[in-house]
Amino acid sequence: MSKFFSYLVPIGLLFTLSVSVPARSEEQTSPLAITNVTIISPDLAEPQKNMAVIINKGQITAIVETSVMGDFQGEVIDAAGMYLTPGLMDSHAHTTHVPGFDYAGSPQEAKHPELVTAYHRQQPRSLLYHGVTQVLDPSPTPEWTKFTDGDIHPDLFRCGVLPNLGAYPQIPINRAIEAFPHFIMDPDSGYNMKKGLTADPTDHTPEAALKAIKESGAVCAKLYIEDGFGGLAHWPIPTDKLLGDIRRAADAHGLVLYAHANALDMVQIALRNNIDVLGHGMWNWQWPAEKGPAPLQETIDTIKYEGKGYIATFGVIDGLKQLTHENPLKDKRLNTVTPAALVKWYKTEDAQWFKSDLIAGFGPAADAATAYQAFEGISARGARVLAYLNEIGHENFVLGSDYPGSPSYAKQPGLSTLQEMEMMATAGLPLDKILAAATINGARMIGVDHIYGTIEVGKKANLLLLNENPLNSIGAWDTIDAVILGGRAIKRESLAAAQENCL
């Protein structure tokens, strides 16, 4: 299963921790009042009914009862019977990789430039269609401007990447160096060293790399603690000494450390070295028999007691599972977020390359049903971890879809975020914790909770107007009437992909 991996893709940051929100060509041009609305916000003990939210120059300037609002000069949205929430933040999304293709910038993408262009044109709108007004891309490549060049897009943040050259992720070494220049060279352990690679080690010490990441405008640094998938365990991983040096450099430059780690032993390494955020749920429980009983409960308890950010990313395994389904495109909601030409290509034999590789990874006698059942079991383990964390009182859940998460075309922008929330609910996470995970927790994780995450005076007006209460049903998140982006109200239907009965 060496080809199953969570892709690294683009940069995208219009903010740093210390700068204000940048101006947009599509920002609010006149004051807006949303009246008679019920406010749902993670900082509120209960919903606030019949309220008016006043927005000017992209910022919330007043919140009052509608009955005492007084005269108002500007646009008014009468939202009687509707619900206002903060916009969603997807804290694990890859914005340059096209679902169904190999890594961003691959020769495969070069074969279909028109499909790549169509996807990148629609992608920001698809995220907004499902209420995602902020995105954190933890694994950016220089193609991030494809995301921010359009006239409308969510606010985009990024991590700087510390890749394992010659290890995980499995992309060509030259492409890795081009896309992720802040690799670490550690002569003692051989980590990130590649035979024939020439580079000045002083440019690739933890201090130099983290300083460069900070200066690039990033809010976090991403590490890969992954020695292999399935029965494989042959890729080099960073030593504790190196991780300690990275931790100290990150602290010195005010950067959050964000780790790819989804296996029990890899999560233990992340916890031992005080990594801030676990970028994946812990669905791999393999443990060497010679080490005795697997310390599963102890490890999960540590996540809770140390308050680590926990991003379940159910969508990674679900995307793989759905690809082995007899109809990977069975979710008709894909129509609203995927360009018709791309969906048409997904039905071709050419597009099935990863499905074939995926099934072959289970052995020569494996078929689609075998793979599907295997992924069902992996998903169940991830759900059990999340349920137990909730049971013991963990609060720091963070929403992250990790779309596309693999070359699976079953995962598309925006819809993947909604599906992630649905799977979190199915796993047993209460609706109020899902609200927090999707709003304030992601903002707090990267230090921008003074701008996003709640409905309060002074915060940026990235908001959602819903027809149903999201504290009553997870399905309410699919009843968006309008997205408020930087104070500008956008009707949801205007953000959909061109409608064709292509599924």
Pair 420, 315 in one domain: yes
- Residue 210 forms part of a structural domain: yes
Pair 427, 482 in one domain: no
- Residue 308 forms part of a structural domain: yes
Number of compact structural domains in the chain: 2
Distance CA 226, CA 229 (A): 8
Mean pLDDT, range 466-494, rounded to an integer = 98
CATH code at 178? 3.20.20.140
Pair 158, 272 in one domain: yes
Q: Which residue has the tokens 């640094």?
A: 221
Q: What residues contact residue 200 under an 8 Å CB cut-off, 6+ apart?
A: none
Pair 387, 424 in one domain: yes
Residues in the chain, overall count = 503
Residue 361 has a pLDDT of: 85
- Residue 350 forms part of a structural domain: no
Pair 475, 432 in one domain: no
pLDDT of 185 above 80: no
For 398, other C-beta atoms within 10 Å of its C-beta total 28
Pair 287, 432 in one domain: yes
Last-in-domain residue among 422, 441, 460: 441
Going 423 to 425 to 431 to 437, the CA torsion angle's sign is: negative
Confidence of residue 501 (pLDDT cuts 50, 70, 90): very low
Residue 105 has a pLDDT of: 77
What is the per-residue pLDDT across 113-149, written as a single tens digit (0 to 9) for each?
A: 999 999 999 999 999 999 999 999 999 888 888 899 8
Pair 436, 464 in one domain: no
Distance CA 140, CA 218 (A): 10
Confidence of residue 188 (pLDDT cuts 50, 70, 90): low
- Residue 345 forms part of a structural domain: no
Say what angle helices 431-438 and 415-426 make with each other, to 10 degrees.
150
SS3 call for 34: strand
Of 100, 65, 60, 150, the closest CA to residue 453 belongs to: 60
Q: Which domain holds residue 96?
A: 89-323+361-441
pLDDT of 190 above 60: no
Pair 113, 79 in one domain: no
Pair 267, 208 in one domain: yes
pLDDT of 317 above 50: yes
Amino acid at residue number 496: A
Q: Check residue 185 and give left, alpha or beta (phi > 0: left; psi -120 to 50: alpha).
A: beta
What DSSP string runs through 288-333?
-GGG-S--HHHHHHHHHHTT-EE---HHHHHHHHHHTSS-TT--GG
Confidence of residue 309 (pLDDT cuts 50, 70, 90): very high
- Residue 17 forms part of a structural domain: no
Of 48-57, 118-127, 256-265, 355-364, minimum mean pLDDT range: 355-364
CATH code at 486? 2.30.40.10
Mean pLDDT, range 163-186, rounded to an integer = 78
Pair 168, 224 in one domain: yes
> What pTM value is reported for the model?
0.91
Instruction: For the chain, give the percent of residues with pLDDT over 70.
Output: 91
SS3 call for 204: helix
SS3 call for 81: coil
Pair 121, 43 in one domain: no
- Residue 122 forms part of a structural domain: yes
Residue 409 has a pLDDT of: 95
Given a contact cutoff of 8 angstroms between Cβ atoms, the answer to whether 277 and 309 are in contact is yes
Pair 159, 298 in one domain: yes
pLDDT of 37 above 50: yes
- Residue 203 forms part of a structural domain: yes
Confidence of residue 184 (pLDDT cuts 50, 70, 90): confident
The 3-state secondary structure of 146-199 reads HHHCCCCCCEEEEEEECCCCCCCCCCCHHHHHHHCCCCCCECCCCECCCCCCCC
- Residue 24 forms part of a structural domain: no
